[in-house]
Structure 1
Amino acid sequence: MRTEVVSEPGHPDRANEDFAAVGLPACGQGGAVVVLDGVTPPATETGCLHSVPWFTARLGGALTELTVSRPDLTLREMLARTIGGTAEEHADTCDLSHPRTPQATVVLARWSALSLDYLVLSDSALLLESPGGLVTPVLDDRLDRLPRAARATEALVDSTLRNKEGGFFTAAADPSVAERAVTGSVPVEEVRALAALTDGATRWVEKFHEGDWAQCFGLLRKEGAGALVDRVRELERADREERRYLGRSKTHDDATAVFVRL
C-alpha cells in the first residue's frame, strides 16, 4: 500500500480547518482513511468557546483510533460514538444546540483483507478506482439538490436546512446524524485505489469544471495529490473576480486530498 496526504489552508494566515489521517492496524492487514472538512463559522456568535480546528482535531483523532482498533464497529457506530464523545468534552461550557456549533463534513474508508467499507457525510467526496480503471464517486449530494433560493443567506440555511429534515447534515453535536450518512461496502479486490477529497479540492471538478471525476482521479494518479491542490489554487487566482461562476463563498478554501493505492 502507498499513500499520499496533502492538506493546505485557504490562506497562510488562517488555521487549516481540515483534518486528514491514514491509519494502519498493528496486525498489518487493512487500513483506514479519515478526512474531515471543518465548516467555517460565521463572524457572529456560534455558542462555542472552541475553534473549528479544535473540533476537527478531536473528532478526527477519535475516528482514526476507532477505525484501526475496533473492526467490530460499523462506520456509522464509530461516527456516532465520536460525535457523542467530542460533544461531552465541551457540553458544560458551550451551547451545543446552536446551529453553528463547530461541525465538519466526513469521509471514512476502512478496508480489510475481504472488504472496503465507506461513509460520506455532506459535501466532501470519496473516489474508488476499480482494477480496470473505472472511477466511482461516492457523494452525499443533499446540499447540491437544495434550491438556490433556499440557500440565499446563512441565516436562512441555519434556520431551515442545516442538520434538519429536508436539508443537509454534518457532524456537529448530535450522534444521530451518523444514520444520515451515505454508507456502503465493496469487496476489497474490486478497489485498486481510492481518494478522499474535501470540497476545497473537489473544486477542480465541481466549481471550475476542468474535468470529470475519472479525469480528476487520473490527475491524482499521474501527478499526485499536491498537483491537484496546486491546480485548484491556480484556477482560484485566475478567477479572483469570480467571472466564471456565481455564488462562491470564498476565493480560496482549505484543500485536502488523500490518495491511496491498495
Structure 2
Amino acid sequence: MRTELVSEPGDPARPNEDFASVGLPASGQGGVLVVLDGVTPPRGETGCLHSVPWFTARLGGALTELTVSLPDVPLAEALSRAITRTADAHAQTCDLSHPRTPQATAVLARWSPETVEYLILSDSALLLESPDGTITPCLDDRLARLPRASLATDALIDAHVRNKEGGFFTAAADPSVAARAVTGVLPRGEVRALAALTDGATRWVEKFREGDWGDCFTFVRKEGAQGLVDRVRALERADAEERTYLGRSKTHDDATVVYVEW
C-alpha cells in the first residue's frame, strides 16, 4: 500500500489550521484517513477561548481513534461522537452556540477487505479511482451552489446559511450536522486508490482551472502530493498581483493532500 500525506500552512508565520491522518490498523485488513480544514473566522468574537488548530487537533484526533477502534460504527456516527467529545472538552469555558465557534470541513474514508466507506462535509474533496481508471469526485457542493448575494457579508453568512437549512454545514459543536454529510459505501473491488484534498489544494481545479478532477488525480499519482501543493503555490504567486483567478480570496491557503493506493 502506498500512502502520502502533505499539509502546508498558507502562511509559514501562522499555524496550519488543517488536520490530516492516516490509520493503518495492526490487523493489516484496512485503514482510514481523516482530513479536516479548519474554518478561519473573521476578526472579532468567536465565543471561544481556543484556536482553530486546537479544535481541529481535538476533532481530528477523536475521529482517527473512533474510526479505527470502532470499525462497525458508521462514519456519520463516528463524526457525531467526535463532535460531542470535542464540544465537551470546552463547553464549560466557551459559548458553543456562537456561529463562529471553531469549526471545520471534513473528509473521512475507511476501507476494509469488503468495502470503502466515505463521508464529506462542506467544501473539501474526495477523489476515488476505479480499477479501469475512472475518477469519481465525491463532493458536498452546497456552499458552491449558494447565490453569491447570500455570501456577501459575514453577518449574512452567519445569520442565514452557516449550519442552516438551505445553506451549508460544517463540523462545529452540534453533533446533528453529521447526518447532513454526503456519505456512501462501495465494494472494495471498485476502488483502487483515493485522494482527499482541502480547498487550498483543490484550487488546482476550482480556481486555476489546470484540469478537471481526473486530471488532478493523475497529477497527484505522477507528481505526488507535494507536487500538487507546490504547483498550487506557484500558481498563487503568479496571480498574486493581477488576481485573475484568485479574485478576493487570500493569496495562499492551508493546503492538504492525502493519497492512498492499494
> Shared fold by TM > 0.5?
yes
Residue 85 and residue 226 in structure 1: after superposition, are their counterparts in 2 closer, same or farther (change >3 A)? same
Corresponding residue of 1:44: 44
Corresponding residue of 2:204: 204
CA shift, 1:32, in A, is 0.4
Corresponding residue of 1:221: 221
Give the whole-Å Cα distance in 2 for the aligned partners of 1:180 and 1:240: 36
Corresponding residue of 1:168: 168
Contact 2:106 2:121 in 1 (8 A): yes
The answer on 1:21 being equivalent to 2:29 is no
Corresponding residue of 1:2: 2
CA shift, 1:155, in A, is 1.4
CA shift, 1:26, in A, is 1.9
CA shift, 1:242, in A, is 4.5
Deviations 1:142-187 (A, max 9, x none): 0000001111111111111100001000000000000000000000
Give the whole-Å Cα distance in 2 for the aligned partners of 1:90 and 1:243: 39
SS, match of residue 127 in structure 2 = strand
CA shift, 1:217, in A, is 0.3
Corresponding residue of 2:113: 113
Give the whole-Å Cα distance in 2 for the aligned partners of 1:77 and 1:252: 33
Corresponding residue of 1:251: 251
Give the whole-Å Cα distance in 2 for the aligned partners of 1:242 and 1:53: 31
**One-letter amino acid of the structure 2 residue matched with residue 210 of structure 1:** E
Task: Figure out how many residues of one structure are paired with residues of the other and give that number.
Answer: 262
SS, match of residue 72 in structure 1 = coil
Corresponding residue of 2:146: 146
**One-letter amino acid of the structure 2 residue matched with residue 188 of structure 1:** R
The answer on 1:190 being equivalent to 2:190 is yes
Give the whole-Å Cα distance in 2 for the aligned partners of 1:223 and 1:124: 21
Corresponding residue of 1:96: 96
**One-letter amino acid of the structure 1 residue matched with residue 153 of structure 2:** T
Runs ≥4 residues deviating over 2 A: 245-249
Deviations 1:4-31 (A, max 9, x none): 0000000000000000000011211000
Corresponding residue of 2:234: 234
Give the whole-Å Cα distance in 2 for the aligned partners of 1:83 and 1:243: 37
| Identity between Structure 1 and Structure 2 (%) | 77
Give the whole-Å Cα distance in 1 for the aligned partners of 2:218 and 2:72: 34
CA shift, 1:127, in A, is 0.1
Give the whole-Å Cα distance in 2 for the aligned partners of 1:247 and 1:74: 39
RMSD: 0.9
SS, match of residue 256 in structure 1 = strand
Deviations 1:117-157 (A, max 9, x none): 00000000000001111000000000000001111111111
TM-score (norm: length of structure 1) = 0.98
SS, match of residue 80 in structure 2 = helix
Corresponding residue of 1:179: 179
SS, match of residue 97 in structure 1 = coil
Give the whole-Å Cα distance in 2 for the aligned partners of 1:158 and 1:69: 35
Corresponding residue of 1:133: 133
**One-letter amino acid of the structure 2 residue matched with residue 35 of structure 1:** V
TM-score (norm: length of structure 2) = 0.98
SS, match of residue 144 in structure 2 = helix
SS, match of residue 29 in structure 1 = coil
CA shift, 1:247, in A, is 4.2
Contact 2:236 2:246 in 1 (8 A): no
The answer on 1:31 being equivalent to 2:31 is yes
The answer on 1:122 being equivalent to 2:122 is yes
SS, match of residue 42 in structure 1 = coil
SS, match of residue 143 in structure 2 = helix
**One-letter amino acid of the structure 2 residue matched with residue 112 of structure 1:** S
Give the whole-Å Cα distance in 1 for the aligned partners of 2:182 and 2:74: 13
